[in-house]
Structure 1
Amino acid sequence: MAAVTTWTGREANALRQALRMSVTGFADHLGAARRTVAKWSSQGNKVHLRADMQAALDTVLARATPDVRERFGALVSAGSSGALADPATLPVRGTHIHTGEGGIHDFDSDGDVRRRDLLTGVTISGITLPNVATLLEALVSPRPRNTEPVALPIRQFGRDVADAKIAYQACHYEQVLARLVALLPALEPTCADAEGEQRAQVDALASDLYHVVGSVLLKVGDKGMALVAAERSTRAAASSQDPLAMAASARIMTHALMSNGHSNQARQLAEAAAETLRRGTGLASTDAIAVYGALLLRGAIAAARDDNRDNAQAMLDEAAHAADRLGYDGNDRWTGFGAANVLLHRVNIALTLGDAGTAITLARQVPLDKIGLAERKASLFVDVARAYIQWGRYEHGLNALRSAYEIAPEEIRCRPAVQRIAGDLAVLTRGHVRSAVFDFAQHVGIHV
C-alpha cells in the first residue's frame, strides 16, 4: 500500500476506523484533542492536518498490522471515511450559484438544460433518471413543450401540494416525482389567475411546493439543483408575506446550504429565521412553535457539521423547550416536530460530532411509537447503522439498515448516502456478515 502523501480528515478518519478505535480512543492515541478528531470525522477532505499531526499519523500507519493497513486501504479506496465530493455538486457550464448577504444569484437556465441533457439515460440511486430529469426540466422550464399549461383552482392546488408533502414524508419518492412533475407546470398559470389574498395564498403554496422539490433532490443527491429549488421557495415565501411561510422556507434553504458545504451560513440563517419568527408571531400558535423548533433543530445540525458543539447544544436545548411548550409530537406545518423529534436530532448530532456510542445510547431512548413519519423513523435507523459502523459493530449496522428498509424501502433504494453505507459494510466486513451484506444489497436492489 502506498504511503499517504497529504493527510486530510478523510484519511485520518479512515485510519481510525481501520484501527477500530472510537474518536476518544484515537485522540488519546495520537495525543490530539478529541474535538480535533471529531472534526476530521465530520468534515473529511475539507480539513488538511497540521504537519505534526501528519507526522504522527505517518508513524501510526507505519506501525500498523497488515490487517489494519488492508482495512485502511479499502476504506480510502471506497471513499467512505469522510466528506467526499459528490458528482452532482460539480460545476455546471452556464450555471453560477453563490451565496452571500443577498442570497443565491446568477441562475442561468440554459446551463441547467445542458445539465439535464448530460444526465439523460443514466440512473441515479435506484430512481430511473427519466423521472428525475423530467423534474429538473420542469424546475428549469415550467412551461411544458407543445402544450398550454392550465391553471388549477386554488383549493385543488393546495390539496395537490399537500399530497406531495405526504408522499415525501412517507418515503414514496417515485410518487413524489410524478406529483411534482405535474404540479410545477401548473404553478405559473395558477399564480397568474390569483389576485389579492388568493395570490398570497398561492405564493405560500408555491413555497411549500419548491420545498418538496428541494427535499427530494437532496434525497437523490442533486445538491446544486436542490439549492436552486430552495431559493425559489424563499422567493415565493417572501412574496406571500406570510411569516410562517418565510420561516418554513428557511428550513429547506438551511438544509440545502448545509448539503453544499455552507454549514456556518446555514446555522446563521436558521438562528436569524427562528428569531424573526419568534418576534413576529410571539409563537402564539402551534404552527409557529413547531416551525420555530424545527428551525432550531436544523440550525443545531448545521452547527454540529461546523464543529460548533456549544452552539449545537444551545439550539438543541431551546428546541427542547419549544417541544415542551407544544406538548405533543405532531406534524404541524409539515415539521414532524415534538420531543421525540428533538431526540432524533440529538442522535444525529452526536454522530456528526463523532460520538457513536452516545448516538446509540440516545437512539435506544427514542420512543418509536411517537414518530409518525416514515421518513424520520427510517432516518433514525440509518443514523444507528452509521453509528454502529463507526463503532466497528458491523452486523448491528446491517441489522439497522434492514430495519430502515422494512420501514421505508425507497429510502434505502433511492438515497446515495444510504447506498454508500451499504458499500462501506461490503468493504469492511468478512465471512458470514459480508455474505449477509451482499444478500441484503441484492434483495433491496442496490449495487455494492
Structure 2
Amino acid sequence: MAPVTTWTGREANALRNALRMSVTAFAEHLGAARRTVAKWSSQGDRILLRADMQAALDTVLTRATPEARERFGALLATGTSGAIVDTTLPDAHLVTDTGDGGQGDSGSDGHVRRRDLIRGATIGVAAAPGVAPLLDALVSPRHPDGVTLCAQQFSRAVAVAKIDYQACRYERVLHQLVTLLPALEPARANAQGEQRTKTEVLAADLYHVVGSVLLKVGDRGTALIAAERSTRAAAASADPVAVATSARIMAHALMSNSHGEQALTVAGEAAGVLDRDTRLMSADAVATYGALVLRGAVAAARSENRDTAQSMLDEADRAAARLGYDGNDRWTGFGATNVLLHRVNVALTLGDAGTAIGIARTVPLDKVTLAERKAALYIDVARAYTQWGRYEHGLAALRTAYEVAPEEIRCRPVVQRIATDLALLAKGSARTAVVDFARGAGIPL
C-alpha cells in the first residue's frame, strides 16, 4: 500500500475505523483533543491536517498491523471512511503545539501522551546522544529547570547554536538546545515592543536549528513539529526575511517526509512573497531568496520534475550573481558555490551520477567554508560513485567527509545506507576496507 501523501480528515477517519477505535480512543492514541478528531470525521476531505498531525498519522499507519492497513486501504479504495456527521462542534485545534503547557488536551495527561507519541516517532532513529532530552524540552515549554536569559544572552546563545550546527558539532548543539528551549518562553514573557519582535525572530531561528538537527539524525516526523513552530514564530514577528527563513525549514521537513510537491509549493510561494515584500534590497533578503529557490530545486528533483529543478537552479544562479559573493547571510551559506553544491545534489537525485561527479569536480573547495556543506558535498560524491559502481572512490569520498566532520558521518542515516550499500556491493579487499572504515567511524552496518 502506497503511503498517504496528504492527510485530510477523510484519511484520518479511515485509519481510525481501520484500527477499530472510537473517536475518544483514537484521540488518546494520538495525543490530540477529542473535538479535533471529531472535526476530522465530520469535515472529511474539506479539512487539511496540520504538519505535526500528518507526521503523527504517518507513524501510526506505519506501526499498524497488516490487517489494519489492509482495512485502511479498502476504506480508501471504496471512497468511504465511516465519517460521523456533527455540525455543532467548536473549532478544532491541535495541541501538539499550543504552548500552553498541555491545557488544550486534558492538562498533564495530554502532555504525557504527546511526549510519548513524539518519543515513539523516533524509534529506529540513530541514537545520537542528547536526542531524548531534546524531545522532552520540545514538548515541555515550562521545564522546571529552565533558565532565564536576557535578550542579549538569548541572541548570542542562538547564534552559537547556529555556528555549531554549521560546524557539524551536533552533540554540542543538542546540549545547547535542551537549555535554550525552556528559556524561550521566559524570554518572550520579558520582551516588550520592538524587543518582542526580535525575540520571535530568534524563536524562529531556534526552532529552525531544532528541525535541522532532528533531520540530521533521521527524526523526520518531529522535525515537522519544530518547523511548524519556526513558521509560527516568524509569522508573529512579521519580519519578511524571518518568514522566508522559516519556510526553508518547513520545505525541508516536508520534503524529508515525502511531501515533495508541498515542499516545492512552500519554497516557491515563500520566495515570491519575499521578493514582493522586500524587492530583495538587502543581502539577507537576496541570500534567503536564493536559499529558498535552491530548496525548491531539490524538492522538484525529488518529485522527478527535472525542468522545474533546472529552472530554479538557474534562478538561484541569478540571485547569486546579484549577491556577488559566497557568504553566510542569515545563516544560508548562499552564493555561487552553494548553487554548484546543489547542482551536484539535484543531478544525483535525478539519477545522473556521472553528471553529479562532473559538476563536483568544478566546485572550488576553498570557497566551501562551512563544514556541514563540505561534508554534504563529499557524501553526495560518495553516493554518486556508489551508484556508478566505483566503490573504492565512494569509500574515499566517505573518508574525506569523515575527516571534515566526524559527527556528520556518525549520525546521518544516509551515510549508513551508503556504507551498507558499499559493504554489500564491493568485493574482496575493497569490502574489507569498507567494513573497517565503518567500524572505526562508528557507522552501524
- The TM-score by the shorter chain falls in which range? 0.7 to 0.9
> Where has structure 1 moved over 4 Å in runs of 4 or more?
95-105, 116-120
Residues 27-426 of structure 1 aligned to structure 2 (within 5 Å): 93-94=29-30, 100=48, 106-108=94-96, 109-115=111-117, 118=120, 124-125=125-126, 127-128=128-129, 131-145=130-144, 147=145, 149-426=146-423
Distance 1:107 1:397 in 2: 45
Shift of 1:126: 5.1
The one-character-per-residue Cα deviations of 1:177-200 (angstroms, maximum 9, x if unpaired) are 000000000000110010110000
Q: Structure 1 pair 115/352, CA: closer, same or farther in 2 (3 Å)? A: same
The one-character-per-residue Cα deviations of 1:38-95 (angstroms, maximum 9, x if unpaired) are xxxxxxx879xxxxxxxxxxxxxxxxxxxxxxxxxxxxxxxxxxxxxxxxxxxx9415
CA contact (8 A) 1:119 1:133 kept: no
CA contact (8 A) 2:51 2:225 kept: no
Q: How many residues align?
A: 357
Q: Structure 1 pair 118/355, CA: closer, same or farther in 2 (3 Å)? A: closer
CA contact (8 A) 1:93 1:114 kept: no
Which residue type is aligned with residue 393 of structure 2? H
Q: Which structure's relative contact order is higher, taking Cα pairs within 8 Å and 6+ residues apart? A: 1
Shift of 1:104: 5.4
Q: Structure 1 pair 261/118, CA: closer, same or farther in 2 (3 Å)? A: closer
The one-character-per-residue Cα deviations of 1:299-336 (angstroms, maximum 9, x if unpaired) are 00000101111111111000000001111101000000
Shift of 1:202: 0.2
Distance 2:310 2:121 in 1: 41
Q: Structure 1 pair 309/46, CA: closer, same or farther in 2 (3 Å)? A: farther
Distance 1:431 1:114 in 2: 45
Which residue type is aligned with residue 252 of structure 1? I
Shift of 1:150: 3.5
Q: Structure 1 pair 166/257, CA: closer, same or farther in 2 (3 Å)? A: same
Question: SS of the residue aligned with 2:30?
Answer: coil
Distance 1:116 1:411 in 2: 23
Shift of 1:111: 3.4
The equivalent of 2:103 in structure 1 is none
The one-character-per-residue Cα deviations of 1:327-363 (angstroms, maximum 9, x if unpaired) are 1101000000000000000000000000000000000
CA contact (8 A) 1:126 1:446 kept: no
Shift of 1:169: 0.3
Q: Structure 1 pair 155/243, CA: closer, same or farther in 2 (3 Å)? A: same
Which residue type is aligned with residue 306 of structure 1? S
Distance 2:163 2:299 in 1: 25
Q: Under a length normalisation based on structure 2, what TM-score does the superposition of the two structures give?
A: 0.76
CA contact (8 A) 1:126 1:413 kept: no
Residues 9-20 of structure 1 aligned to structure 2 (within 5 Å): none
Q: Structure 1 pair 119/266, CA: closer, same or farther in 2 (3 Å)? A: closer
Question: SS of the residue aligned with 2:164?
Answer: helix
Distance 1:314 1:239 in 2: 32
Question: SS of the residue aligned with 1:155?
Answer: helix
Distance 1:124 1:267 in 2: 26
Which residue type is aligned with residue 432 of structure 2? S
Unaligned runs of 5+ residues in structure 1 are 1-7, 9-44, 48-91
Distance 2:402 2:280 in 1: 37
Distance 1:185 1:322 in 2: 37
Output the aligned Cα RMSD. Answer: 2.4
Question: SS of the residue aligned with 1:337?
Answer: coil
Distance 1:198 1:417 in 2: 40
Distance 1:371 1:183 in 2: 29
The one-character-per-residue Cα deviations of 1:93-112 (angstroms, maximum 9, x if unpaired) are 41579994976563544433
The one-character-per-residue Cα deviations of 1:346-400 (angstroms, maximum 9, x if unpaired) are 0000000000000000000000111110000000000000001111111100000
The one-character-per-residue Cα deviations of 1:416-446 (angstroms, maximum 9, x if unpaired) are 1111111111111110000000110111112
Q: Structure 1 pair 239/255, CA: closer, same or farther in 2 (3 Å)? A: same
The one-character-per-residue Cα deviations of 1:151-208 (angstroms, maximum 9, x if unpaired) are 3111110000000000000000000000000000000011001011000000000000
Which residue type is aligned with residue 332 of structure 1? D
Which residue type is aligned with residue 137 of structure 1? D
The equivalent of 2:79 in structure 1 is none
CA contact (8 A) 1:359 1:387 kept: yes
CA contact (8 A) 1:150 1:190 kept: no
Which residue type is aligned with residue 125 of structure 1? A
Question: SS of the residue aligned with 1:388?
Answer: helix
CA contact (8 A) 2:125 2:219 kept: no
1:430 aligns to 2:366 (yes or no): no
Q: Percentage identity across aligned positions? A: 63
Distance 1:389 1:445 in 2: 20
Which residue type is aligned with residue 139 of structure 2? V
Shift of 1:123: 8.4
